[in-house]
Amino acid sequence: MSEIVKRLMETRLRAWNEAKELADRAADEKRAFSAEEDGKWAALNEEIDTCDERIKAVIAQEKRAQEADEILSRAGGGAPPAGGPSANDELRSWARGETSSRTFDINPRGAVDFRALSKLTSAAGGSVVPQGFYNRLMAHLIENSGIMQAGVTVLNTASGETIPVPKTTAHSTGAQVAEGGTIGTSEPTFGSVDLGAYKFGAKMQISSELLRDSGVDLEGYLSMQAGRALGNAFGVRAITGTGAGQPRGVVTDATAGATGTTGISGGFGAQATAGQGADYLITLYHSVIAPYRRSASCRWMMNDGTAETVRKLKTTEGVYVWQPSIVAGEPDTLLGKPVVIDPNVADVGLSAKSVLFGDFSQYFVRMAGGIRFERSDDFAFDTDLVTFRALMRADAALVDLTGAIKYFVGGAS
């Protein structure tokens, strides 16, 4: 760990401790935050979020520098690789209009480790992922789609025909049997969900001067812009999609694990009241059975606003349920499980499904083919801009409906 990251982690921990002391004082005095305390709380949480972003950026920069050194070392000081142009060279040539083709297909070369890609840090194993253009684009897509960071199962197919995937709706049951008695039959109940290939697209424009500048990281720019746009578009559907002409969102098929009491505006209520506050999260935690909780892909998911509220919650023993990460690049934990932030999850409110918890490996994402890029010199001819569009086909659905993922839903009134 570099000195810069260490200092940022120390700053983050100091801000966290100050925020904790602030909340402790209000809780001990059994009162809400004053206006001044509320402003300080918001400022401290903003400082924590800023530190998180800077830590991630520094780690990514150090990783790129290390990879560049390794590449130069293997190449003997920067000699071009043998065997003709690389895929990135071909992309740059196409983007500049040096080929006659209007379309450029980006496909994964070999197996793609989406779990490693979702780490996005060298400390967590991200440095072993080959950084071809496809993987760079997918890394940006994952970074901008919380559901893709949650350890979902990804099916990467070459074409887009509909594929049926079995889904479990009930498990087998057993019972004690008397000597000589008849053993009852109990079979698991299965259904089927069809994963198709819905199209998601993004359009971007680049000046002709930028394309001609050999010093510009064109691959990095295109992968970042396309990855972010496609990640945001797919991320909405992956959370709340209905399954009718769009992917089936994880919230759509998840089941209730904890329900808020009526009369508290759909929120978590008062920590001092039994069954409210952090107790809702404990109830949600234990509503998911142990085999799912033991999964490496078991985690929480919520949006930033909900996370800010949850950070203030304690158990009845006065212990914060939210604990900050002590390892750079790793997520904070809630009751010992990692937290993923996704802006597409609903805010806490009346009848709102605002917190998800469970085994996200039971949510299947189907990626059909690669990413298709198309360029046009004519679309913005009068401004001398080259227009690119990126197209991706994907579908998704929860395949275990027995309670692998559950949610907290606010009271009805």
> 29-43, 164-178, 246-260, 288-302 — which is least confidently predicted?
164-178
> pLDDT tens digits, residue range 7-60?
888 888 888 888 888 888 888 888 888 888 888 888 888 888 888 888 887 777
What's phi and psi for 96, nearest 5 deg? Answer: -80, -5
Q: What pLDDT score does 38 carry?
A: 87
129-148: average pLDDT: 72
* pLDDT exceeds 90 at position 209: no
Name the residue with higher pLDDT: 411 or 358.
358
Q: What pLDDT score does 122 carry?
A: 39
> 70-84, 159-173, 235-249, 345-359 — which is least confidently predicted?
70-84
In angstroms, the Cα distances linking 199 to 247, 314, 342 are 10, 43, 21
Please determine, looking at this structure, whether the domain spanning 89-172+188-249+365-398 carries the CATH number 3.30.2400. Answer: yes
88-95: average pLDDT: 71
> pLDDT tens digits, residue range 61-78?
777 666 555 544 444 434
Q: What pLDDT score does 354 carry?
A: 95
Q: Are 56 and 88 in contact (CB under 8 A)?
A: no
What's phi and psi for 77, nearest 5 deg? Answer: 90, 20
Give percent of the chain above pLDDT 90.
28
> pLDDT tens digits, residue range 269-322?
877 777 788 899 999 999 999 999 999 999 999 999 999 999 988 877 888 889
**CA-to-CA distance for 358 and 362, rounded, in angstroms?**
9
209-222: average pLDDT: 74
Element (H, E) at 55: helix 35-74
Query: 325 Cβ partners below 8 Å, 6+ apart?
Result: 331, 332, 333
CA dihedral 271, 277, 279, 285 (to 10 degrees): -150
Domain boundaries, the chain: 1-84, 89-172+188-249+365-398
> pLDDT tens digits, residue range 47-59?
888 888 888 877 7
Mean pLDDT of the chain: 80
Residue 292 tokens read as 């799912």
Task: Count CB atoms within 10 A of the CB of residue 338.
Answer: 19
Identity of the residue numbered 51: C
* pLDDT exceeds 50 at position 353: yes
Q: Are 283 and 257 in contact (CB under 8 A)?
A: yes
Q: What pLDDT score does 275 carry?
A: 78
pLDDT band at residue 112 under the 50/70/90 scheme:
low
Q: What pLDDT score does 26 carry?
A: 84
Q: What is the value of pTM for the model shown?
A: 0.69
What's phi and psi for 61, nearest 5 deg? Answer: -65, -45
